[in-house]
Amino acid sequence: MLDLLITHASLPDGRSNVSIAVQNGKITQISEGPISGAQARETVDAAGCLLSPPFVDPHFHMDATLSYGLPRVNESGTLLEGIALWGELKPLLTAEALIERALTYCDWAVARGLLAIRSHVDTSDASLLAVDALLEVKKRVAPYIDLQLVAFPQDGVLRTKDGVDNLKRALDKGVDVVGGIPHFERTMADGAASVKLLCEIAAERGLLVDMHCDESDDPLSRHIETLSFEAQRLGLQGRVSGSHCTSMHSMDNYYVSKLLPLIAESGVSVIANPLINITLQGRHDTYPKRRGMTRVPELMAAGVNVAFGNDCVMDPWYGMGSADLLEVAHMGLHVAQMTSQKGIRQCFEAVTTNAAKVMHLKGYGLEVGCDASFVLLQARDPAEAIRLRANRLKVWKKGVLLAETPEVATKLNTAGRPERVTFQIGKAGA
């Protein structure tokens, strides 16, 4: 007897009418068509809807989330005012309030089918209050969210007194990944030195690396080059990510033609954050205003693993957001002009499989032996899911149902027309 049988599902790779058998939290069988003789304690008829592995956010700041307006809002909308505002908020933080906000965000995430999050946590303050708080959150949400923490020296690891020591103490406490912010160090030379130092710390400790890298419109901010070089030098291929990399938007094309193969050879992943990049970058421009997002299709074409992150939800940098990675993919698609069928699929992968690769998630995917963790969307395929920021009908983690949202349909009073509208092709009035 199976624990769960899902029938008539459509999968992101285009397979349709798929049955999936679940036992002990794992996928035990996948079949196009019915699984003969299968009996299950519970059967869910997906009715042609899209069954995807859960959404994965490879870049977030859970220590700052849901703090919008504390102690004031960011009037200029710039990255630098956001950092200054976070500096004003930090002395006011309490562990209890931070944990409560983070847990609320994790509830939102589950409702949206977002079951794995990589969150940076600020290590600049010697008290490591935010680190301890998020380690507690990680423990509490472990049954339903894979929360991976990055030691992030927000004020600059070299620029801050005891910055290196504080970061190492955070890693000693159990923070998973080494972070950095080279473009915020005092000089280009210090930025490059910080990249080298932090990659060496990661190599010594056998940890992954994820740096905020070149989050700037300055075309001469080239720390992604040093990060890629250090990944190669230290044998960290496949274990390093560069987050944001917005300066690449403004770089000289000849230089980029030399840079892309270096990133690809180094196995460095790039994480764009479309919602934040389109709002924070280009703030010093008059017109035309740059979009600021990194060169996503060009990186993908060069063989680089590119993922999309949420970065911020209702915090000193961004007052919008709702833990919806389809909203992130939707913005990424527009900013990068990835409107071809292939491009749309790639945007869906950027918030699912590519992001899972960044986080080195084990058991992720829709194959026999993978975790039975899914989100059932009120959409037929990835394009419709992104177009509609589709309703999450059901969310499972290792075979356990975590969240449900009723099917969304509007009732009309228009004489002679269908009574219900769902905005799905072929489903209106069904």
The footprint of Fe ion (CB under 5 A) covers 311
The counts of H helices and E strands in the chain are: 13, 18
In the complex, what is the shortest distance from the CB of residue 223 to Fe ion, in angstroms, rounded to a whole number?
15
Give CA separation, 345 vs 109, 295, 351, in Å. Answer: 22, 17, 10
Q: Which is nearer to Fe ion, 57 or 125 (CB)?
A: 57
User: Can you tell me the distance from the alpha carbon of 11 to that of 310, in angstroms, rounded to the nearest whole number?
Assistant: 24
- Pairing state between β 55-60 and 114-122: parallel
- The nearer residue to Fe ion, 81 or 265, going by C-beta atoms, is 81
Residue 7 or residue 67: which is nearer to Fe ion going by CB? 67
Whose tokens are 């159990």? That residue is 174
For the CB of residue 98, give the shortest distance to Fe ion in the complex, in Å: 17
Q: Would you say 59 or 389 has its CB closer to Fe ion?
A: 59
Q: Is 200 annotated in the active site?
A: no
Reference 271, options 229, 307, 295; nearest CA is 307
Q: How many CA atoms lie within 13 A of 427 on its CB side?
A: 16
CB-nearest residue to Fe ion: 311
CB 308 within 8 A of CB 272: yes
Integer Cα distance of 72 and 68 in angstroms? 8
Q: In terms of CB distance, is 180 or 399 closer to Fe ion?
A: 180
DSSP category for residue 426: T
Nearest to 402 by CA among 135, 19, 55, 29: 55
Taking the complex as a whole, the smallest distance from the CB of residue 6 to Fe ion amounts, in Å, to: 35
Minimum CB distance to Fe ion, residue 116 (Å): 17
Q: How far is the CB of 355 from Fe ion (least distance, A)?
A: 14
- Candidates 185, 215, 230, 327; catalytic one: 215
H helix or E strand, kind and range, residue 91:
none
Strand partners, 31: 19
The rounded distance, in Å, linking the Cα atoms of 302 and 102 is 36
Q: Who contacts 37 (Cβ-Cβ below 8 Å, separation ≥6)?
A: none
Provide the minimum distance between the beta carbon of 59 and Fe ion in the complex, in angstroms, as a whole number. Answer: 6
Instruction: Say how far apart CA 409 and CA 268 lie, in whole Å.
Output: 43
Smaller CB distance to Fe ion: residue 146 or 311? 311
The residues annotated with a catalytic role in the active site are 215
